Structure 1
Amino acid sequence: MEHQIKNKGFNQPTIFFQIPSFLIKKPTIIFSINPTSIASPIPPKITMNSPILLFFFFFTVFIHPSISSSVSLSISSNSLSKSNNSVTIRWSGVDSPSELDWLGIYSPPNSSLRNYIGYLYLNTSETWRSGSGQITIPLINLRSGYKLRIFRWSESEIIPTRRDHDNNPLPQPKHPLAETEEFGFGSGPGSRSGPGSGPDQVHLALTGVEGEMRVVFVSGDGRESVVRYGLDPGLGTDSGRVVGSRVSRYEREDMCDSPANSSVGWRDPGFIHDGVMVGLEPGKRYFYKVGSDAGGWSSTFSFVSPDNDSGETIAFLYGDMGTATPYNTFVRTQDESISTINWIARDIESLGDKPAMISHIGDISYARGYSWLWDHFFNQIEPVASKVPYHVCIGNHEYDWPLQPWKPDWAMYIYGKDGGGECGIPYSLKFHMPGNSSEPTGTRAPATRNLYYSFDFGVVHFVYLSTETNFLKGSKQYEFLKRDLESVDRAKTPFVVVQGHRPMYTTSYEVRDRPINEKMLEHLEPLLVDNGVNLALWGHVHRYERFCPINNFTCGSGPVHVVIGMAGQDWQSIWEPRPNHETVPIFPQPARSIYRGGEFGYTKLVANREKLTFTYIGNHDGEVHDAVEILASGKVINGEVTNTVAEEGRRSDGNNRGKSGETSFTWYVQCAGVLLFCVLVGYLIGLMSRTKEVVVANKEWTPVKTTEEA
C-alpha cells in the first residue's frame, strides 16, 4: 500500500512579518507563521486581532507572498521488516525544478531540519525536470522512525562554512516543500515490543578459549535477550542450548568531542548484547539465533567452530575498509567496501565446512563522530561477520582526539582529531576481543578496550597491537608483546603474524607520520626480529605494498612486512608518473619494496604446518594479484630481491636504533645549523675575494618528489 501525504505541513501560505520592538520586551524577532503547521506557532499573547498585526498580515499576503505549491510526496511503505529493506519515494508538483532541489533523510523523525543523517538530490531521478520523479533507497534499522522531506535550494544560499569532508557545500533546509509521514521498522518475527527494538548487527568473535564463540548484537531496548544455538538447523524451543547475554550501552555524555557529542553527530546507539556460546565441538557447523520471544528473534545464522588440531588456518585480512551509505552525508563514505565484503562472502561460501576468520586492522567504519555510520558498518559486515569471527585492532579514526591521555611531544602532529570525538568508545563496546587490555580515557567515558591481544587460530599465532596508545619500552603494551612473543609454542603454531594500524615500513611516508615510524622501528622491530615473527601486517596507507624479509631497512632476514590498507578508503595519493616526467614515479620504488599496487581489495592467508601462503586479491576481478610463501623453516619464496642496495637513510648499525626521544625533527635542526654555517662561510669568502658576481641563467626544473606531503 502506498502512503501519500500531500505537502504535509507546508502546503499553506507561509507568512513572514516583523513584530515591532515596542510591542514586546525582548529584541526584535522574525516569526514565521503557518496557520496549519505546528512547527511555526503564533507566539503566546499575540493574536491576529491586533490591528497592527492584521496590517502586516495583509501586506505580506498581497504585496510579498511566499511561494506556494501543491507538491505531493509519497512512500511505498510505512513499515519495513528488517535492515536493508528498500523504500521508494515519489514526488510530483515541484514548480520550476532546480538541480539543487534535494531530499533530506531524518532519523529520529523530529530531528532539527539541519540535523539530517543524509541527503540525495532530486536530479538522481531521470524525470526530475518534469517536477516529478522517484528514488528507491535501502534503509537500516536505527531503532527510531524515519521521516523524509524535500527542499528547494539555490546557489545564492550556499553557506561557505557548511561543507562536507570533500569540501562540497551541505544543503540548507531553508525552503521545505513537503514531507512524508513517519515510518520505520518492526521488531522481528514474533515480537511483542515496540518498533525497531529487535536484534540486529550480529557479529562473532573468538574468546581465546577453545570450545567458545562470542556473539555480539544490538537491540532497541535493554530487555533480556539470549543466544540459542545447536547442531540442528531448526533450533526449535526444545533443541539446542541457550545462554544469556550481558547488556551495555554508552551515552552522548561519554563522547569526548564534536561531532560525536553534538546534536548533528549523536544518535542513540541502542543496547549492546554480548553472549558466549560454550561447549562447542571442534570443526562442527553450529546454527544460532539471538533475541527473545518478547523482543523478536534474528534470522538463523551458522558458523564452523575452530579446530586447532586440524593443521590448517584460513583468514581474510585488510585494513581501512569503512562503510557505504545509499545517500550523501557529512563525511565521505567508502563505496568500494561493498565489493570487498562481497568478494569475501564468495570466498567464505566456497570454503564449505572449513573454519575461517577475518582480521580488520584499524580504521573500521570511518564514522568519525557520526554514529549512524557505525550502524551501516555492522549491517554491511553481518553477512560475513555472522559466519566467521571478525577481529579488529584500533586505528586513528576510532580513537584520536585532542586530549587523549598518551600524546608525547614527538607525536604532537600525529594524534589529532581523526576520531571525531569518539575517543574509542563505540569501538570498545561494539566489539569484544580476547584479553583484558584497556587504557583510561581520562574522562567520564569508560576505558578504551580491545587495544592489544593475541590468540591461536589453527597453526598461526595472531597478535594485535595498538599504534594509538603507548607502545614504547616500559609500557604495558610493550611488556605484553615481549611476554607473548617469547611464550609462543612454535610446535603448536609454527607461524606468528603481528598486526597493527600504522605501518612500520612503507614507501608512501606522510611527513607527520615519520616520528611514529621511527619509534616503531626503534622499540618494536627488535622484538619482532628476535622472536622470529614471520609476517607483520599494517594499514593506514590505503594501498597494498609488500616488502622483502627485512630488518633495519636491510633485505635478507626478518619479518615480511605488508601494508594492506586497500579495503575501501580512497583518500590517498596514487603511485603514478607526474606530468612531463612519465619515467619518474611520484614515489620511487626502492629495492626493498617487492610489490605495490593501487587496486582495492583484501588479502587471504592459508597455512598448514609446513607453509604459509599470503595472497592479495583485487576487487575489480576477484583474482590474485600478488603472492608470497613463507616456509616453517623461515625461508621466504618470492620475497627476495636480486639487488639489496643499502637505501639512503638506512641505519648502518642494527643495534644502534636511535636514542630515546630522537625524532626526525632533530634532523631538521641539524640541517638548519649546517645551512646557516655554509651561508656565513660563503659570505666571508665573498668579502675576502671580492670576485665578480657570476650570473647563472635561470633553468626551469621540477625536483623529484620522493615523499608524500601531508
Structure 2
Amino acid sequence: MIGVRNPVVLCCALNLFAFLSVCSSDVSISVSPKTLLRSRDPVAIWWSGVSSPSKLDWVGIYSPANSSHDDFIGYVFLSSSPGWENGSGFISIPLINLRSSYRFRIFRWNESEVDVTRVDKDHNPLPGTEHLLVESEEIEFKPGRGPEQVHLALTGRAGEMRVMFVTSHGEESFVRYGLARTRKGLDQVAGTRVERYEKEHMCGAPANQSVGWRDPGYIHDGVMINLENKQRYFYQVGSNQEGWSNIYSFVSPDSNSNETIAFLLGDMGTFTPYTTFQRTQAESKSTIKWISRDLRAIGDRPAIISHVGDISYARGYAWLWDTFFTQIEPIASAAPYHVCVGNHEYDWPSQPWRPDWAANIYKQDGGGECGVPFSLRFNMPGNSSEPTGTAAPATRNLYYSFDMGPVHFVYMSTETNFLPGSNQYQFLEQDLEQVDRGKTPYVVFQGHRPMYTTSSGHKDGALRQKLVEHIEPLLLKNKVSLALWGHVHRYERFCPLNNFTCGSLEKNGKFWEAFPVHIVIGMGGQDWQPTWEPRPEHPTDPVFPQPVRSEFRAGQFGYARIVANMEKLRFSYVGNHDGKVHDSVEIMAPDPSVFDSTSHSLYHDL
C-alpha cells in the first residue's frame, strides 16, 4: 500500500476564507496495489481528512501520471463511497493497461463553481480542477507480462487465421499455436509485423489534442497458417524477452463445411467504470456476456462475429479504444471479429468524399480520428483503401467479402464513395456477380447506415435515397438474402423489399419474390436513439408510426444470430434483457437451377 499526505498549503494561501476548513486539515490518499499485472485488475483507493466534504468532490484518474489536471481519462465522485460525508471513503476501480503509469488526484468542487457552458459529450458539466486536495503516488503495470487486446480475423484464405495484439515496446513478437494447450503442443510459430500511428496522423480535436491523445502502443499482426479444418487450436502471443500472453483458443473454419454460425451486432461501444468525456455504453457488457454464452454453447464448431460499424465510440479519446479491445477480448480471441466502418470511426469535415447532398450527413462524428485507429487496429480481408488527403495513412477495411460455410458475407462502407464509377461500387458489382450460389446459397450484405429504417425521420434521408438508387439494384439483381445495417440503435426487421415495396405472396402464401430482407441491428449497446414512444424527459420527440413493410421492431438491446445450412438460413434477434430469442426469420436456400427466377426464395416469419 502507498500513502501520501498533503497539507495543501498553497490552497490555504490562495483561498484562506472560502476553503479554510478544508485547508486547515491534512488530506491523505492511499492506493493499493502499487503494481498491477494485467488490464482489468482493480486498484483500491482510500482517502481521509476531507473537511466539510462536498457531494461534488471527485477523484480524477490520470494516465500518463504527469498529465495536466484537465487531461484526466475519467473521474469518480467521492460521494459514491458510503460514509463520504465524514470526509473519508474507499472506491475500487479496474484499470486498463495504457502502457504508462497512473496517478489519482482528489479535487474540491462546489456547486457554486459548476459551469453549465463547459460540458462533456453527454452534457454533464466538466468537473473543476482549481482546488487540488491531494494526489497519490504513481502506480504502474508490471512489464514483461505479455501482449494484450488479442483479437482474431479471417484472411479470406483457407487454412489461415489472423491474430492482432498490442504491446508497449514494438519488439519482435510471435504467435505460437497448435492442437494442445501444453507448451509442447504449441508447436507452430508465426512472426508478426508491427504498425503504429502518431498524434500528427489525427485530423482534428480531440484526437490530436492532449486531452484526447494517448500513445496507442504497437499493433502486431500475425497469421497462423496450415490450419486443419474444424479443429480447436490453442495459441499465445508475445516473446521470451517481453513475456507471453495467456493461452487462448479458437475453432478453425472448415472449408468444406455446410454450416455457418455468426453473431452480429452494431453500434456497441464500450463501458468504463468511471465518467469520462464521452458517454460510454454499459449495455455493451451484456452483449458480450450473452455472445460469450453462445460461443461456449456451440462447442467445437467455428463461428464469426460481425460488428456493422460504430465500434468503440472513442471519437478521439484514445483510451476508449484500449478499453474496447480489452472488453471484447474474451470473444474476439475465440472467434474472428469482423467490422465495417461507421460514422464514429471516420467522419470529419474535410473528408475526401463529401458531396453536396451529404454536407449535413458527413460531419465530425469521428472526433478527429479520420479512420486511423480503425484502419490500423483491424485488418480485414482484401485490400480496399482510400486516401485521406491528410498526413494520415489511407483508410482501410472499407469493403471486402469472404465465404464461411454456405454463406457469402459482403461488407460495404457507407462513409466513402459508393456511387457508380467508384472503386467500391466496382468491387461490390463484381463480387456479387461472381458468387457461386451452388457453394454459398446465401449472401449476407452489411453496411453501417441503413438503406431502410422507420425510426429516424428525415435524418440521413439523402444518403438512404442514394443507397436505394444505386446499391439496391445490385442486391436485387444478385438476389442477396439479407441486408444488415446499424446506425439506428434499435432492432427492426423488414419484409423482403424492392424500393419500399414488399415482395408479393404467391397462392400458397410461402413463396416470396427474391428481394433482400433488410434488418437493422444497431442495438448492440449505444443508447442515444429515441424509442418509438416518447421518453418522459423528451416528450416532444416524434413518434414514428410502423408501416406495413416494417414487420418487427424492438427497443431492447441485443444482438443477432445466424445459423445456416444448405437447406435454410435462420436469423434470430436475442434480447440482452433476458438472453432469449424475440424475433426470427428463416430463408430457404435457392435452387441454383432456377436462379434466374424471381420467385425462388422461401421466407418464413417465425
Normalising by structure 1, what TM-score? 0.80
Secondary structure at the aligned position of 2:375 is classed as helix
The answer for the alignment partner of 1:536 in structure 2 is 483
The answer for the alignment partner of 1:480 in structure 2 is 427
Matches within 5 A, 1:479-558: 479-556=426-503, 557=513, 558=515
Secondary structure at the aligned position of 2:253 is classed as coil
Shift of 1:162: 1.8
1:648-674 superposed Cα distances (whole Å, 9 cap, x missing partner): xxxxxxxxxxxxxxxxxxxxxxxxxxx
The answer for the alignment partner of 1:235 in structure 2 is 183
Matched, 1:569 2:510: no
Distance 1:518 1:65 in 2: 64
The answer for the alignment partner of 1:590 in structure 2 is 547
* One-letter amino acid of the structure 2 residue matched with residue 576 of structure 1: E
Q: Pick from 264, 268, 272: which aligns with 1:321?
A: 268
Shift of 1:235: 2.6
Distance 1:214 1:515 in 2: 37
Matches within 5 A, 1:239-388: 239-388=186-335
The answer for the alignment partner of 2:159 in structure 1 is 211
The answer for the alignment partner of 1:638 in structure 2 is 604
* One-letter amino acid of the structure 2 residue matched with residue 119 of structure 1: Y
Matched, 1:92 2:39: no
The answer for the alignment partner of 1:706 in structure 2 is none
The answer for the alignment partner of 2:38 in structure 1 is 82
Question: Which of the two has higher C-alpha Rg?
Answer: 1
Shift of 1:568: 0.2
The answer for the alignment partner of 1:605 in structure 2 is 562
Matched, 1:12 2:16: no
Secondary structure at the aligned position of 2:454 is classed as coil
The answer for the alignment partner of 2:92 in structure 1 is 136
Q: Is the 8 A contact 1:578 1:586 kept in 2?
A: no
Shift of 1:184: 1.3
Shift in CA distance, 221/611, structure 1 to aligned 2, threshold 3 Å: same
Shift of 1:186: 1.1
Deviation above 4 Å: which 4+ runs of structure 1?
13-17, 63-66
The percent of aligned pairs where both chains have the same amino acid is 64
Shift of 1:636: 3.9
Distance 1:636 1:621 in 2: 30
Distance 2:417 2:244 in 1: 42
Q: Is the 8 A contact 2:21 2:51 kept in 1?
A: no
Q: Pick from 90, 95, 105: which aligns with 1:149?
A: 105
The answer for the alignment partner of 2:573 in structure 1 is 616
Distance 2:569 2:556 in 1: 23
Q: Is the 8 A contact 2:11 2:131 kept in 1?
A: no
The answer for the alignment partner of 1:57 in structure 2 is none
Q: Pick from 379, 395, 410: which aligns with 1:463?
A: 410
Q: Is the 8 A contact 2:236 2:245 kept in 1?
A: yes
* One-letter amino acid of the structure 1 residue matched with residue 562 of structure 2: L
Shift of 1:65: 10
Shift of 1:3: 1.7
Matches within 5 A, 1:153-232: 153-189=109-145, 198-232=146-180
Shift of 1:5: 1.4
The answer for the alignment partner of 2:66 in structure 1 is 110
Distance 2:236 2:356 in 1: 49
Secondary structure at the aligned position of 2:327 is classed as helix
The answer for the alignment partner of 2:79 in structure 1 is 123
Shift of 1:552: 1.1
Shift of 1:531: 0.3
Q: Is the 8 A contact 2:584 2:605 kept in 1?
A: no
Distance 1:239 1:282 in 2: 17
**Gapped runs of 5+ residues in structure 1?**
18-31, 33-59, 190-197, 641-710
Shift in CA distance, 355/64, structure 1 to aligned 2, threshold 3 Å: closer
Q: Is the 8 A contact 2:572 2:581 kept in 1?
A: yes
Q: Is the 8 A contact 2:186 2:234 kept in 1?
A: no
Distance 1:92 1:437 in 2: 56
Distance 1:492 1:170 in 2: 56
Distance 2:602 2:113 in 1: 61
Distance 2:228 2:132 in 1: 59
Shift in CA distance, 576/512, structure 1 to aligned 2, threshold 3 Å: closer
Secondary structure at the aligned position of 1:622 is classed as coil
Secondary structure at the aligned position of 1:6 is classed as strand
* One-letter amino acid of the structure 1 residue matched with residue 96 of structure 2: I
Higher relative contact order (CA 8 A, sep 6+): 2
**Gapped runs of 5+ residues in structure 2?**
504-512, 591-599
Distance 1:373 1:606 in 2: 32
1:201-237 superposed Cα distances (whole Å, 9 cap, x missing partner): 000000000000000000001111100111121134x
Q: Is the 8 A contact 2:5 2:28 kept in 1?
A: yes
Shift of 1:511: 2.3
Distance 2:143 2:20 in 1: 49
* One-letter amino acid of the structure 1 residue matched with residue 55 of structure 2: E
Q: Is the 8 A contact 1:188 1:298 kept in 2?
A: no
